[in-house]
Amino acid sequence: MSKYKTHEYDVLIIGSGGAGLRAAIAAKEKGAKTAIVCKCLLGKAHTVMAEGGIAAAMGSLDPDNWQTHFQNTMFGGKYVNDWRMTEIHSKESPDRVRELEQWGAVFDRTKDGKMLQRSFGGHTYRRLVHVGDRTGHEMIRALQDKVVSMGIDIYMEFMISHLLLDDGRIAGAFGFFKDTGKFVVFNSKSVILATGGMGKIWRITTNSWDNTADGISLAYFAGAELKDMEFVQFHPTGMVWPLGVKGLLVTEAVRGDGGLLTNNKGERFMEKYDPKLMELSTRDLVARAINQEVREGRGTEHGGVYLNISHKPSAYVKKKLPSMYDQFLEFADLDITKQPMEVGPTCHYMMGGVSVDPQTQMSTTDGLFAIGEIAAGLHGANRLGGNSLSDLIVFGRRAGSAAADYAKGMKSLPIIDQKEIDEHKDWLFSFFETKSDCPPSLVHTKLQDIMERDVGLIRDDEGLKKVLSDLDSLSQQYKNTYLEGNLQYNFGWHIAISLKFMLITAKIVSRASLERKESRGALYRKDFPKAEEEWGGKSVVIKNKDGNMSVSTVPIQPMPSNLEDYIKKEKEEWLNKQK
Ligand SMILES: Cc1cc2nc3c(=O)[nH]c(=O)nc-3n(C[C@H](O)[C@H](O)[C@H](O)COP(=O)(O)OP(=O)(O)OC[C@H]3O[C@@H](n4cnc5c(N)ncnc54)[C@H](O)[C@@H]3O)c2cc1C
């Protein structure tokens, strides 16, 4: 008998964003005993903040097709995407969007009743299905209604702090309720990580409080391989002013719906960087263009550039971008129907993550699956806007179904090692026992300073090595971090635990960035400013080997010729430009 309250499941899903909810529906449909745990309240996962839309080749307005979506995604990802995932994603997204509608999502429509689609950076056609600039909200509402109607068990405000293993395969997870501090063991045949991103490692970010890299660290310590962790997307347009909301997202839909970028001389500077796509170029390129304009003295008063949509009719702006209108009015006392916004780059999304099988999303740890932002592969070196929301529903469904099948194939539940839990619990209590004057919040601030300094838009060997050494010192300080209070609703304690996740992930991102000696997509190395052909054929893989961080490169599987044909010409043109 365990001394901890124990729940038994076939499929345990950690995370209630779009990916986790979609996976739960698929697992339950297959008859698996399924539960969702999430450290937020149901309905409050980061996905709810998504604004611009879901990318899917529905072809409502333009002659769109999966091949063009595939081609655009590969070009955006600078050809290091897992092409098998990109193919599946391009083909299956339209059906997954239609399904959302059947479950009650109400998308904006054309006059003749089709789903309205908008332009977004890097997409050839108008492709993003949306609801004004509140698409994530509608997606979560529809998925959540379905999950609740199916009677799936949900544990809210519950933080998973450790994954449990049985002879190298997954056995479940351990954690506690944030309000009471009560510990619970989940004994499960399969576990799906749907824990989202890691933006809170940086100070200037669009990400919500929950995005503290938990899943990356949980997977790493459970022996799973991580891939492409050097590719972190800095969205070109975050708010730069007022300081209290610096980093808050200004959706790409502003540019998609006609917004123009100018510098302090009134020039549409994107003409210099991408005369073909202009404001609708890929995010990596626009972010670096803004950075260059500001560095060369052509920035705004608060260190950004101008984004202007006030040339469009006021009613159009308010209808298409209601959240942006409210956001600027409320936080900056600025009416975007009359004045330009000031914007600059902000940490937004991780392209890398847990290395997964493209069909099932199982990681290299048996029984452990990963989906959504925490899974690597689909987006390569740079994600196109809108491709995350479609990623969640395409691969959420696949993983839920595969995890249920996997569980069916097991005769009994895996064995839980009580000693492993006791040791982990001792660590959770240890924060209350050390005596120092260093609270976890101070360690967090220092971590963010280090990452902003040298692991941002522009990196190099010297800076990255300095980061690794600074992270080692900070990790020592972290060991003595000091807490007061008890286990009940102790926010300091939650940060202290998350810091373990964030510190190791910061190190992983820095090590991976150091390893890739070229610039590609979102990774720009000052000391290797061009993309190198040989690096186009491999991924950086990081794994925990007996307590040490092992870093290696693995070849990307060659693409079949029928797919290669779709991307060949554009890829050659891009490679030629690198010479
Ligand atoms: C402001 C903003 C706007 C965006 N707009 C768009 C858009 O228009 N289109 C698009 O495609 N993409 C957009 N994105 C990106 C997209 O929203 C995210 O990549 C996506 O929602 C991630 O979904 P997810 O299901 O992987 O994780 P999330 O939605 O981040 O959910 C993670 C879940 O995991 C839980 N969790 C984490 N750690 C633990 C733990 N230790 N224990 C228990 N639970 C845990 C959290 O509580 C949460 O429930 C936007 C991002 C931002 C920040």
Q: Residue 445's domain is classified under what CATH number? A: 1.20.58.100
Check residue 482 and give its pLDDT: 86
Q: What DSSP assignment string belongs to 207-266?
A: --TT-S-HHHHHHHHTT--EE-TT-EEEEEEEE-SSGGGTT-B--THHHHTT-EEE-TT-
pLDDT tens for the chain, 579 residues long, are 678 999 999 999 999 999 999 999 999 999 999 999 999 999 999 999 999 999 999 999 999 999 999 999 999 999 999 999 999 999 999 999 999 999 999 999 999 999 999 999 999 999 999 999 999 999 999 999 999 999 999 999 999 999 999 999 999 999 999 999 999 999 999 999 999 999 999 999 999 989 999 999 999 999 999 999 999 999 999 999 999 999 999 999 999 999 999 999 999 999 999 999 999 998 899 999 999 999 999 999 999 999 999 999 999 999 999 999 999 999 999 999 999 999 999 999 999 999 999 999 999 999 999 999 999 999 999 999 999 999 999 999 999 999 999 999 999 999 999 999 999 999 999 999 877 778 999 999 999 999 999 999 999 999 999 999 999 999 999 998 989 899 999 999 999 999 999 999 999 999 999 999 999 999 999 999 999 999 999 999 999 999 999 999 999 999 999 999 999 999 999 999 888
Cα 475 to Cα 276: distance, rounded to the nearest angstrom: 46
Q: Which atom of ligand 1 is nearest to the CA of 160?
A: 42
Going from the Cα of 254 to the center of ligand 1, the distance in angstroms, rounded, reads 21
User: In this structure, is residue 197 part of a structural domain?
Assistant: no
Cα 376 to Cα 577: distance, rounded to the nearest angstrom: 27
Domains: count for the chain: 2
- Closest residue by Cα to atom 38, ligand 1, is 195
- Closest residue by Cα to atom 30, ligand 1, is 196
User: In this structure, is residue 142 part of a structural domain?
Assistant: no
Residue located via tokens 């626009």: 286
Mutate-to-test residue for ligand 1 from 16, 42, 46, highest number of ligand atoms within 8 A of CB: 46
Both tokens of 404, joined, read 């249920």
User: In this structure, is residue 561 part of a structural domain?
Assistant: no
The closest of 232, 237, 457, 456 to 351, measured between CA atoms, is: 232
Q: Which atom of ligand 1 is nearest to the CA of 195?
A: 34
- Closest residue by Cα to atom 11, ligand 1, is 386
Of 329, 346, 363, the last residue of a domain is 346
User: In this structure, is residue 457 part of a structural domain?
Assistant: yes
Check residue 469 and give its pLDDT: 98
Cα 384 to Cα 127: distance, rounded to the nearest angstrom: 11
Q: In Å, how far are 289, 332, 378, 403 from 358, measured between CA atoms?
A: 34, 44, 9, 14
User: In this structure, is residue 341 part of a structural domain?
Assistant: yes
Going from the Cα of 347 to the center of ligand 1, the distance in angstroms, rounded, reads 14
Active site residue 255: yes
Active site residue 130: no
CB 248 within 8 A of CB 331: yes
Q: Which atom of ligand 1 is nearest to the CA of 373?
A: 26
Q: Which atom of ligand 1 is nearest to the CA of 47?
A: 21
- Distance from chain centroid for Cα 172: 24
Task: Write out the H or E segment, with its range, that includes residue 52.
Answer: none
Going from the Cα of 483 to the center of ligand 1, the distance in angstroms, rounded, reads 29
Mutate-to-test residue for ligand 1 from 389, 392, 501, highest number of ligand atoms within 8 A of CB: 389
Mutate-to-test residue for ligand 1 from 134, 195, 221, 379, highest number of ligand atoms within 8 A of CB: 195
Q: Which atom of ligand 1 is nearest to the CA of 159?
A: 42
Going from the Cα of 299 to the center of ligand 1, the distance in angstroms, rounded, reads 31
HSE-CB at 40 with a 13 A cutoff on CA atoms is 19
Q: What DSSP assignment string belongs to 320-378?
A: H-HHHHHHHHHHH---TTTS-EEEEEEEEEES-EE---TTT-B-SSTTEEE-GGGB-ST
Going from the Cα of 526 to the center of ligand 1, the distance in angstroms, rounded, reads 30
Mutate-to-test residue for ligand 1 from 210, 234, 397, highest number of ligand atoms within 8 A of CB: 210
- Closest residue by Cα to atom 2, ligand 1, is 50
Q: Catalytic pick from 22, 46, 69, 235?
A: 235
CATH of residue 298: 3.90.700.10
Residues contacting ligand 1 via CB (< 6 Å): 14-20, 37-40, 45-47, 49-53, 135-136, 159-160, 194-196, 206-207, 210, 214, 249, 349, 372-373, 385-389, 392
Of 309, 329, 346, the last residue of a domain is 346
Q: Which atom of ligand 1 is nearest to the CA of 374?
A: 26
In the chain, DSSP finds a helix count (H) and a strand count (E) of 16, 20
Check residue 570 and give its pLDDT: 95
- Closest residue by Cα to atom 12, ligand 1, is 388
Of 294, 328, 346, the last residue of a domain is 346
Residue located via tokens 């304690």: 493
Q: Are 527 and 436 contained in the same domain?
A: yes
What secondary structure letter does DSSP report for 383?
A: P
Going from the Cα of 373 to the center of ligand 1, the distance in angstroms, rounded, reads 7
Going from the Cα of 527 to the center of ligand 1, the distance in angstroms, rounded, reads 33
- Closest residue by Cα to atom 8, ligand 1, is 52
Going from the Cα of 121 to the center of ligand 1, the distance in angstroms, rounded, reads 20
Check residue 1 and give its pLDDT: 61
Mutate-to-test residue for ligand 1 from 13, 47, 326, 392, highest number of ligand atoms within 8 A of CB: 47
Domain that holds residue 293: 239-346
Q: Catalytic pick from 22, 46, 255, 397?
A: 255
Q: Which atom of ligand 1 is nearest to the CA of 348?
A: 53
- Closest residue by Cα to atom 44, ligand 1, is 38
Q: Are 423 and 511 contained in the same domain?
A: yes
